[in-house]
Amino acid sequence: MAFENGTANMPSAARKTWFSLTFLVVRCFGAFFDDISVLPQDCYDFVVIGGGTAGLVVANRLSENPKVSVLVIEAGASNKDVLDIKVPFYSTRVSSRTLYDWNYTTVPQAQLNGRSIDYTRGHVLGGCSSTNFMIYTRGSSEDYDRIAEVTRDQGWSWHNLQPFILRNEIVTPPADHHNTQGQYTPAVHGHSGVNSNSLPGFATPMDERIMRSTQEHPKEFPFNEDYNSGFQLGIGWGMATILNGERSSSATSYLAPKYAARPNLHVVLNSRVTRVLASSKTSSRSSITSDYSTRGRTSKLVSIDTVEVATAADGPRKFITARKEIVLSAGSIGSPQILMNSGIGDFDALTKLGVESILNNPSVGQNLSDHPVVGNTWFVNETETWEKLVRNDTFAEEALQLWRTKRQGPLVNTVTTQLGWLRIPDNSGAFKEHPDDPAAGPNTAHYEFVFANGMRGKLPTEGNFVTISTVVASPASRGSVQLRSGDPFDDPLIDPNFYGSKFDMTVMKEAIYAARHFTAAKAWEGYILKPYFSATKEAEIEDMIRDTTRTISHPVGTAAMSAKSADYGVVDPDLRVKGIQSGLRVIDGSVFPYIPAGHTQAPVYIIAERGSQLMKDAWGL
């Protein structure tokens, strides 16, 4: 059933003429639409599902060719003029339990004492790039070389991805314009790309102490001038997607006004894709698609060319057709959910929920990988920490006015100014539980330090703090995303299965010990007063981990790439959905077969840049 509009009673031919004339008008300016009911046409060359980190890259690159039409369908609202999105330091205000988040929670986590935890995902134009903490890390070169090996496609190797990395990135000066020599290596970065990143634009009291600690313990905690070079091990200055003291997201960069004005690009907001549907071109002949575990069931060769969209669970559906391809860029939760609601997934599980199966692929929604994080906090002998912004209203208002007028001051930074990438010892007991190292190679981190000039979460009434959050960067655990019901508007069942592997628990404990050793350096004498958490015995530390672990919000893998000949996985190396004859790709973080040892924003941009080029090459654009 289509939405009602003023053309409902027109004869078919007149209605088509009206749509065509309307499109000619909006094509002159490009167009944004508040919801799907007012979209002036129902057919495009390409339909991109999700206006997030990856989706807007794809839309930008495809619409570079004026001969094709591109539609982006975004479930959330506009990012425009939202202060909490624009101000880097305010990023914690939009990342959970807000209008701009999907507000998911996980299923109870067995290894977290049965806790369900918030699972943040951006629900706004720009997706997670509009709500994340903006940290720019690529991971190690080994992360990408492993993907190339597993998929048997050398296009995914570190070396061959360099043009796409540089195509995405433009390094810009920090907000305070300080001398950045020795804080990063310009030669390994892009300087003419689309999305901006920069070094911290406001100094904090911990900066010098962190650098001095690397000098005191160069073997355990080496300084790395640029962990984005492909060799990531060590501690270095953090880059973030910030331009002139303001967040740089896919919405502000890839959908900047000069791109949004393209007459062949439409963006519709507040509209949720519920399913993708089979094409009338679908083959009528039957076959056994044994590569995807149909277990002898007969199925048709399916092509996909239609998107079903709604604005409410009980509202009408509108159908949009793609002449060439549909691109799923709804993220590691949304993309597998849409696939399964469309009948692409495990036959038995879908049948139990009353979802008609069109392709039996048990890999859909499996292989969820994420980075668990624990905050390790100390009281410090310092007043210039985050706590001043929370407790002193006058200072907070002055900081906001300084940001508004000059884009300077403490609000120009994200939550961290330095990061560390480190490995557990080769003789660690973790390898007794998991002899196959889950890291991509010997130069890839097992865990990460995220340094913060204050405390995250519920703040005590007194005290100032420094935090080193420890993150399992190369987890062995795998979880899943499954449908809760046959209703596309029901939140899916999200299970990251944190510490499902004992290896990850051992890594987290060793990371916490390492953070404590790091803060014992002479550089911290007279600054650190005492730990906030008193746990010292191994059992107590493990209890603390189970009680305080949260996600750092890097889910990947739920529509994973595999080799074309593999009998597992969801997409081929060209990102086409396996077992679908034509018309459907997935381009977002869900296609990573392994989680990169890094914050996943930059890797998703990289995936999207190469995925867009694969599409352009396939269609001769």
Tell me the CA distances in angstroms from 150 to 147, 446, 560, 593, one per residue in order.
5, 20, 11, 8
Tracing tokens 């924003």 back to the chain, one arrives at 601
CA 288 to chain centre: 35
Pick from 164, 97, 153, 94: nearest CA to 125: 94
Query: Which of the following is catalytic: 123, 371, 446, 599?
Result: 599
User: What residues are paired with 376 via a beta bridge?
Assistant: 468
Burial 272-295, CB ≥16 within 10 A → b, else e: bbbbbbbbeebeeeeeebeebbbe
Told to judge if 189 belongs to the known catalytic residues of this protein, a careful annotator would answer no
Does residue 303 contact residue 581 with C-beta atoms inside 8 Å? Answer: yes
Q: Which of 123, 189, 266, 554 is catalytic?
A: 554
Whole-Å CA distances, 329 to 194, 318, 336: 19, 19, 10
Percent of the chain as helix, strand, coil, to the nearest 5: 30, 25, 45
On whether 302 is known to bind a ligand per the annotation, the reply is no
For 213, the token pair is: 């600690």
Of 585, 607, 584, 580, whose CA–CA distance to 594 is shortest?
607
- 124 in a known ligand binding site: yes
- How distant, in Å, are the alpha carbons of 135, 241, 370, 496, 580 from that of 555? 15, 19, 5, 8, 25
Distance CA 420, CA 446 (A): 11
273 assigned to a ligand binding site: yes
C-beta of residue 499 within 8 angstroms of C-beta of residue 477: yes
599 counts as catalytic: yes
Residue positions forming the annotated binding site for FAD: 124, 273, 589
List binding-site positions: 124, 273, 589
**What are the residue numbers of the active site?**
554, 599
